Amino acid sequence: MRQAWVARLFCCVMCVVSSAQVDTGVITGSVRDSQGAGVASASITFVEIDTNVIPKTQSDETGDYASPPLRPGNYSVIAGAPGFKTQTRSEIPLKVQDRLRLDFDMTVGAVSEIAEVTAETPTIQTDTSSLGQVVMGTQITEPPLNGRDYIQLATLSTGVVRTSSGTNGNSGGSSTGGQNSFVANGTRGTLNSFILDRIDNNSNDNGGVVLRTNVDAIQEFKLQTNSYSAKFGRSGGAVVNAVIKSGLNSYHGSVFEFFRCARYSLV
CATH number at residue 221: 2.170.130.10
| Higher-confidence position of 195 and 226 | 195
Residue that is last in its domain, among 117, 143, 167: 117
173 in the same domain as 96: no
Distance CA(103)–CA(180), nearest Å, equals: 42
154 in the same domain as 67: no
Residue that is last in its domain, among 87, 117, 147: 117
- The whole-number pLDDT of residue 77 equals 95
28 in the same domain as 110: yes
143 belongs to a structural domain: yes
Distance CA(83)–CA(95), nearest Å, equals: 33
User: Percentage of the chain with pLDDT > 90?
Assistant: 30
Main-chain phi, psi angles of 231, to 5 degrees: -65, -20
Does residue 145 surpass a pLDDT of 90?
no
Where in the sequence is the domain holding 172, given as residue range(s)?
131-244
- The whole-number pLDDT of residue 176 equals 44
- The whole-number pLDDT of residue 174 equals 42
H-helix segments, the chain:
2-20, 137-141
- The whole-number pLDDT of residue 8 equals 46
92 belongs to a structural domain: yes
- The whole-number pLDDT of residue 88 equals 94
pTM of the prediction? 0.72
163 belongs to a structural domain: yes
Main-chain phi, psi angles of 155, to 5 degrees: -75, 0
- Residue 189, SS3 per DSSP: helix
**Helix, strand, coil distribution of the chain in percent, nearest 5:** 20, 30, 50
Rank 67-71, 143-147, 149-153, 158-162 by mean pLDDT and report only the highest.
Answer: 67-71
175 in the same domain as 90: no
262 belongs to a structural domain: no
- The whole-number pLDDT of residue 19 equals 45
206 in the same domain as 137: yes
182 in the same domain as 81: no
186 belongs to a structural domain: yes
263 belongs to a structural domain: no
Answer left, alpha or beta for residue 197, where phi above 0 means left and psi between -120 and 50 means alpha: left
Domain count for the chain, please give it: 2
251 belongs to a structural domain: no
Band the pLDDT of 267: cuts 50, 70, 90. low
135 in the same domain as 113: no
